[in-house]
Amino acid sequence: MLTILHGKNVTNSRNLLNSLIKQAQKKNQTITRITTENFQVDNLVNALEPDLFNQERLIILDDFQKFSLSQQKKIAQIINQSSSEKKIIIWANKNLPAKILNLFPKKQDQLFKPDKTIFSFLDSLSPDNKKKSLYLLNQTLKKEAVGLVFYLLVDRIEDLIIAKSDYRKELKKAPWQKKRLIRQAENFSQNQLEKMLKGLILLDYQQKTGQIPYSFEFGLELLIANL
């Protein structure tokens, strides 16, 4: 059975993945985690083959968005040709496009979407719009985990930095998304965006090392207030 967990709500999708892993561990199932770092065709083929002792196995293809298109197609070919009934989970930290999902005709597709408020917050970001951004940030934090907000905020600032640069053509977005990002990036200087990104990286480091003198949420508010 193949399950695909994907979407930008990485907090919820990762929590579900971790829960499924814990369930497998309690049942003493063998867990095989395959990433771009250890992927080989033989590894996946062997994992799908019947076990001599008929032991149940959970196969996880982690960070699927990092695999090249050719690797994704090869993985799909192997899974589709296999008669194995082993449980397979594909996890990705983004929305997988239809052309990838369609590679797997027999699947359970679970898309994890963040609350719409978070995108209103991200779209509001501008040095001249801090009051509204702070309000929307607080509304978002009432509905979504702060970790997800941080992740998507970093992603947006990185996109704006690219949109502001000469490499805007490298943005892997739909045309309407590119246009919106380029328009939003015009509200910032390159220095403001880079300062914001450095502030987010520092905040994350302070949180992980126990050096943050206030809540992580308040740290995000300070960064927005100082745009």
Taking residues 64-87, report their average pLDDT: 93
**pLDDT reading at 157 higher than 90:** yes
Given a contact cutoff of 8 angstroms between Cβ atoms, the answer to whether 118 and 33 are in contact is no
Position 205, amino acid: Y
Q: Mind listing the pLDDT tens digit for each residue in 203-224?
A: 999 999 999 999 999 999 999 9
Structure tokens at 152: 């998507």
Q: Mind listing the pLDDT tens digit for each residue in 98-111?
A: 999 999 999 999 99
Given a contact cutoff of 8 angstroms between Cβ atoms, the answer to whether 127 and 211 are in contact is no
Question: In angstroms, rounded to a whole number, what is the distance separating the alpha carbons of residues 15 and 17?
Answer: 5
Domains and CATH numbers, the chain: 2-111 (3.40.50.300), 116-225 (1.20.272.10)
Percent of the residues in the chain that have a pLDDT greater than 90, as a whole number: 82
**Coil, strand, or helix at residue 36?**
coil
